[in-house]
Amino acid sequence: MTQSTPYVPPKVWKWDAESGGRFANINRPVAGPTHDKELPVGDHPLQLYSLGTPNGVKVTILLEELLALGVEAAEYDAWLINIGEGDQFGSGFVEINPNSKIPGLLDCGTSPPTRVFESAAILMYLAEKFEAFVPASGAERAECLSWIFWQMGSAPYLGGGFGHFYAYAPEKQEYPIDRYAMEVKRQLDVLDRNLSSRPFLCGDEYNIADMATYPWYGQLVLNGLYDSKEFLEVDSYTNVVRWAQEIHDRPAVKRGRRVNRPGGRGIAERHDASDLDAPEAGK
Ligand SMILES: N[C@@H](CCC(=O)N[C@@H](CS)C(=O)NCC(=O)O)C(=O)O
């Protein structure tokens, strides 16, 4: 849909399935499954159904960090949900996440199995289950929850707002790009000021708030998500760059980022630690 005249909203909104832009083929105004499809279940108690997007890798980074810490019970199967092909609308996935978005987790180590959806809920569930990477109580826990909720509330402005209008919309429009570029730069400044006096988001300890935020704002300053490095002048947020680089260099983060990423340097599925160690997986 190309707009040559100003848009006047009709009295009642109707779905224009041909509205164009990337993801137009998977966007729908209704929830629920589109087809029957059971999910596969592997040998480990933790079954992750995901894709190596920023929201997906939050979880695989935490799982790889737990394994690096020696938490063997964090071994997991990671299955690929290809959102471009509509896997998120299969009946099995919708049972785990009624919101039809990756990531989704099934913990078969509980009876009955526990489903968890929303990336931050999964991070908290796993961190609490294994008592790592989340402060147990008091002001430290409050700080961690604050930054996690900040990330969950803020990143949609970056991805769904700025990224959508700057990179994916069928045409470039000044108003939404200005609006979201301003908000994303404000968010980067929030992070930069916070990180000016502490090494990690919540203080001296690296925790799930950093893991949730790095794939979005960390990748934005290091690699310029949406090809926006110059446009947003991301190099000027020097504290965010320093923080992001430190997280980026962690071996578990490198491993976590390669899970559910078919092609290139990633692997489509992960069922054993050796899947990431295999030489062909790194090519
Ligand atoms: N708030 C959710 C957002 C998840 C999300 O937006 N996932 C995207 C990929 S990063 C997705 O599955 N999109 C598929 C769709 O919209 O149909 C979370 O953090 O888990």
**What is the average pLDDT score of the chain?**
95
149-202 residue pLDDT tens? 999 999 999 999 999 999 999 999 999 999 999 999 999 999 999 999 999 999
Res 19 pLDDT > 80:
no
For residue 247, report the distance from its CA to the centre of ligand 1, in Å.
23
What is the distance in angstroms between the CA of the first residue and the CA of the last residue of the chain?
Answer: 40
Average pLDDT over residues 22-32: 84
Residue of minimum CA distance from atom 2 in ligand 1 = 118
Q: What percent of the chain has pLDDT over 90?
A: 89
Angle at 11 (CA atoms; ends 8, 15), nearest 5 degrees: 85
pTM here is 0.95
For residues 219 and 244, is the Cβ–Cβ distance under 8 A?
yes
Q: What is the dihedral of CA 52, 58, 60, 64, to 10 degrees?
A: 140
Average pLDDT over residues 15-29: 78
Average pLDDT over residues 229-247: 98
Res 273 pLDDT > 50:
yes
100 lines ligand 1 (CB under 6 A): yes
Tokens of 274: 């050796």
26 lines ligand 1 (CB under 6 A): yes
For residues 60 and 52, is the Cβ–Cβ distance under 8 A?
yes
90-141 residue pLDDT tens? 999 999 999 999 999 999 999 999 999 999 999 999 999 999 999 999 999 9
pLDDT in the model for residue 283: 46
pLDDT band with cut points at 50, 70 and 90 for residue 3? low
Res 143 pLDDT > 90:
yes
For residue 103, report the distance from its CA to the centre of ligand 1, in Å.
7
pLDDT band with cut points at 50, 70 and 90 for residue 24? confident
76-97 residue pLDDT tens? 999 999 999 999 999 999 999 9
220-237 residue pLDDT tens? 999 989 999 999 999 999
Q: Which helix (H) or strand (E) holds 93?
A: helix 91-96
Domains of the chain as residue ranges with CATH: 46-133+258-282 (3.40.30.10), 138-249 (1.20.1050.10)
pLDDT in the model for residue 30: 95
Q: Amino acid identity of 93? A: F
Give the whole-angstrom CA distance, residue 27 versus residue 24: 5
Which mutation among 35, 102, 125 tests ligand 1's pocket best, with the greatest number of atoms within 8 A of CB? Answer: 102
- Strand-pairing partners, residue 259, are 267
Tokens of 227: 């090809």
Residue of minimum CA distance from atom 12 in ligand 1 = 101
Residue of minimum CA distance from atom 4 in ligand 1 = 101
pLDDT in the model for residue 281: 53
Q: What is the DSSP letter of 38?
A: P
For residues 4 and 173, is the Cβ–Cβ distance under 8 A?
no
55 lines ligand 1 (CB under 6 A): yes
Residue 253 three-state SS: helix
Res 1 pLDDT > 80:
no
Q: What percent of the chain has pLDDT over 70?
A: 96
